[in-house]
Structure formats: structure tokens, C-alpha cells
A and B are shown apart, each in its own frame.
Chain A
Amino acid sequence: MRSVAIAILLVVSILLAGCSGSAPANKTLKVIAAGSLLAPFAEAEQEFEASHPGIDVQIEGHGSIQVIRQVTDLGRTADVIAVADESLIPDLMYRPMKNSSRNYTDWYRPISTNEMVIAYTNKSRYHEEISQENWYRILARPDVRLGFSNPMLDAAGYRSLMVLQLAEGEYREPLLFETLITDHFPSTITVSAGEEGTTISLPEIMRPSDDKVVIRDGSIYLLSLLSAGGIDYAIEYRSVAEGMNLSYVTLPASINLGSAEYAERYRNVTVILGFPRFATIGSERNGLPVVYAVTIPANAPNPDLAREFIGYIANESAKGRPGWPAPLPEGAVS
């Protein structure tokens, strides 16, 4: 009697502790990725799982800095880190892990690139007129509403401001940035030109004073507004616009942040954010070509599998799949 009772209690205790082991032990590959990679990575997840029975790929999305912070500041483990700005990996991960002499990582692999475009729908005002030649004049019309994501939260947000500032020089329209941006914020946005280039300084709160400009935390909210007719145009990554089947105007390579050839020109624009949202990285964002990159944290639970997944992503990216960030130009990767 006594031994039966003890046996029952032992079984109950093991079950309570979640140690029954009744389910098959699938291996989980944890991937933390930038928001603009979520749609292509969702496709990759399905394909990779189909070719790797027993592997569960779990993908979680954040802004690129938050992607890295999950591992460096919040102490979470991940197998693959994928960001929309290659410079963030050396800046934030080439340093020792807590309680270890090893760095979070010492390498990264660039996998693809992207460019900024002006996305729109057939509900957008003047959509029949807009072209690569006149887009900035269309956006400047008083009744046209323009959206971009919050520069505090999303690389696409500060990159949007860089594009508009670069467009001033490209089209010799010295009041373009003021007309499109500065005039629509009650707090001061300052633009100063110096030997190092142009610096845009933002206020702490990015809240427009009228309907001309709309800012949202992430792309998905902008795209939903665009589809509903709440804004006419959104500054977006080309792959995101393609993935959502939106119409878009491409911009000259000299301002679209998509070409390594123009890296020097992009570097002429700097955005200073209103406050350092993350203590581990400053408030300054410099103009650079958009390059997506991946790495495997040194403490990743499944590094071999992670390498396989990265290889798969790199190969698929190189094919130039629709809705995926574009392949890197030939010779861009050593």
C-alpha cells in the first residue's frame, strides 16, 4: 500500500516537473531576425523544415538593434541573428559575453542588400502621375500624405530621412527636406551642413503637427495605412514593397542607399536621434549602403544547424527571390 502511494506520488511529481518525456524531442533552431526579413524567413522556415525532418525553426522578429540586444543585454540564447544593418554586429557583438572571456561573436556574413523606394497603391493621390523623375514634387504637394517608420525604432525610419536629405542635393531642391519634413513637426528638427556632411538632429518625440506626415512604429502599420488610404506614399524597402505587391517608384542609386558605389555620398548624411534608446549604442546613425548580415552567437545551442540554415538563406538570397532582399553584387562577399 505504502509503496503504491509513493510510486503514484513520484509519477505525479515527475509530471508536475515536466519531465515525463512523452513527446518526441524535436530540435529547435531559434532565429531572431529584423522585421524586414520576416516574410522571406517565413518561406525559408517552411522549406528548411521540409528538408530537415524533426527540426523546428522558430523565427522571432524585432528591430535590428533589439534583435542583437535579445542576446547581449537580455541574456537570451539564439542560434542565428539576422539584422538589416551589417555594422551593428561588430559594434554590438564583438565584445565579451557576461561572465566569459569569449566575444558574443567575432564574425558575420553579409547576405543581401536592399534599397529604399516610394511605395504606393492605386488609391494614392496622383498615382497616375508619379514617376522616377517627379516623385519628390508629387510628395511635396500639400494634399499628399507621406508615411515612414519611426527613426527611433526602425532603421527604415532614419534611412527614409537620409534619402530625402540626399534628394535635396540630387535634384538641387534646397527646400525639399524642409517642405516634406521639418515644417510638419512642432519640435525642432535641425539640419546643419558642415565639412563632414549634413547632420539631421531629431527631437525626443517624433510627433507630426499635421496630417502631411505620418509616423508609425514599424513597416506593417505603415503598409496597413497605405492599403486603407490613410497615407498616399510610404518610404519603404524595395523587398517589403514587392512582398506586399505594392506599386513603387525606384530612386536613383545615388540616393537609394542600395549601392556600394555611392557609399561615400551616403556617408555625407548623419541622423542624430532624439535620445539614446539603448545604452549600448549611441544616438548617431550614419548613411551607409543597406547590407543584411547574419551571425551565430558564441553560446548558440545548435551552431552546426545554424550554419546549415545560414548557408540555406545565403544560397536562396543569391537567387534574387521575389520579396527577398536583393543579392549582393558579384564580388561583394569575400
Chain B
Amino acid sequence: MREMALSRTIVLSVTILVFSLVLAGCTAPVQDSLAADWRLTINGTTEKVLTMKDVRALPPVNGHGYCVSTTGFRFGPYTCKGVDLRDLAGVAGGVGEGRQVWVSAPDGYLWVFDADQLEGRGFVTFDENLKEIPSPPLRIILMYEQNGTPLTYDDGGPARIAIISEQPGVITEGSAWVKWVDRIEIRE
């Protein structure tokens, strides 16, 4: 009789704990479905549609990312993992000389990078105090992991643009960090 009561208590306790964890937002199914439903269209000399699995199968790049809004609000610092934009463009024919990469999202936001920027040149960089510093080598990536975990929707997930460096504490202008990326076009 006592064993039965104990087992009922355990079942009830586990139920309450699971309920509380769900209430506290400590479960991951939303995140999983975000990545599972996501598709990236890359339009170059050919058009390809990639899944998150396809993107993750490309060579990963890691680095430090940190950005600032036009009004001086800082986001980061983060450790970032993703795919170099040049490798992604390579899936649909690559970026030839003088071409541009147009990156857009379903919220209607668009940003354009030129070939120089794809090589990490031409960005303004700041230190932690927002004082301009000479730019270290930079890379533009499509980030899918931030601080070791899949990118959340609020942070622009499942995939967003990040400008990263090997050196921590380098801040770049946030206008290029397109959130919720779903389309990449290579244009003249």
C-alpha cells in the first residue's frame, strides 16, 4: 500500500516537473521545427534550395562576432558557427568578379555585399568602446549556431548573417547582419 502511494507521488511529481519545465520554456521542439521547416534558396548561375542539413554539411567556420546598431546599441559578443558566404554562393555557381551577393529575409529586409566585402574588406570596425580600430581579417558567414547552440528565432534563427573575426571584441556595423535569411542571390 505504502509502495503504491510512493509510486503515485513519483508519477505526480514528474508530471508537475515536466509541466513546469514546459511553462518555463526549457524545451527544444520549437527550435527543432524552426530548422526543419527552413529552406534557403540560392540563385546564381543555377538555383538551389538547401535544407539546414545541407548547409551544415558544408565546411563550418567558427569565429567571434559582435555588432552594433545605428544608434549604438551593442549585440554580443558571441561565438559564431556557420558557413562562409563564398562557399554558399559556390553551391549555385560562385561569385564572379564585379558581382554582388543580395541577402534577404521573409520580413522584407535586404542587404547587399560586394566581392571586396566577401573577402572581408571594406568594413568599419570598432573596439568595445565603439572607437574605430583598424579592421582585422573578417569573414561573412551564414551563422546557424551562436554560443554553441542553434540560433533561436529571436536572434535571427535558424540562420542569419554574421561578420566574424578570429580576434574577440571586434564590433562591426549591425545593418549587414541580416536575420532570418532565406534567399541569397548573386547579381551583376
Contacts and interface: CB of A to CB of B under 8 A. Distances in A.
Interface of A: 2, 5-6, 9-10, 12-14, 16-19, 35, 38, 60-63, 66, 69, 73-74, 149-150, 152-154, 204-205, 207, 216-218, 220-221, 224-225, 228, 230, 274-280
Q: How large is the interface on B (under 10, 10 to 19, 20 to 34, 35 or more residues)?
A: 35 or more
A69 B109 CA distance: 10
Contact of B5 (A2, A17, A221): A2
A276 B110 contact: yes
Given A9-B20, A73-B108, 14 more contacts: A2-B5, A6-B13, A12-B17, A14-B20, A17-B23, A61-B71, A62-B71, A152-B175, A204-B112, A205-B112, A217-B70, A217-B174, A274-B112, A276-B110
Contacts of B131: 224, 228
Interface core residue of A18, A74, A217 (most chain B CB under 10 Å): A217
Contacts of B24: 16-18
Given A6-B13, A153-B175, A224 B130 contact: yes
21 contacts: A6-B12, A9-B13, A9-B17, A16-B21, A35-B70, A35-B71, A62-B71, A63-B70, A73-B107, A152-B175, A153-B70, A204-B112, A205-B100, A205-B117, A205-B122, A217-B173, A218-B71, A218-B72, A221-B132, A224-B130, A275-B102
B22 to A, nearest CB: 9
Contacts of A154: 70
A271 B112 CA distance: 18
B2 to A, nearest CB: 10
A16 B73 CA distance: 30
A274 B112 CA distance: 9
A204 B114 contact: yes
A168 to B, nearest CB: 28
Given A17-B20, A221-B130, A5 B9 contact: yes
A6 B9 contact: yes
A6 B110 contact: no
A278 B173 contact: no
Given A9-B13, A278-B108, A62 B20 contact: no
B36 interface: no
Contacts of B70: 35, 62-63, 66, 149, 153-154, 217-218
B124 A216 contact: yes
B58 interface: no
A72 B105 CA distance: 15
Contacts of B71: 35, 38, 61-62, 218, 220
A103 to B, nearest CB: 18
Given A74-B107, A204-B100, A2 B175 contact: no
Contacts of B19: 13
Contacts of A62: 69-71
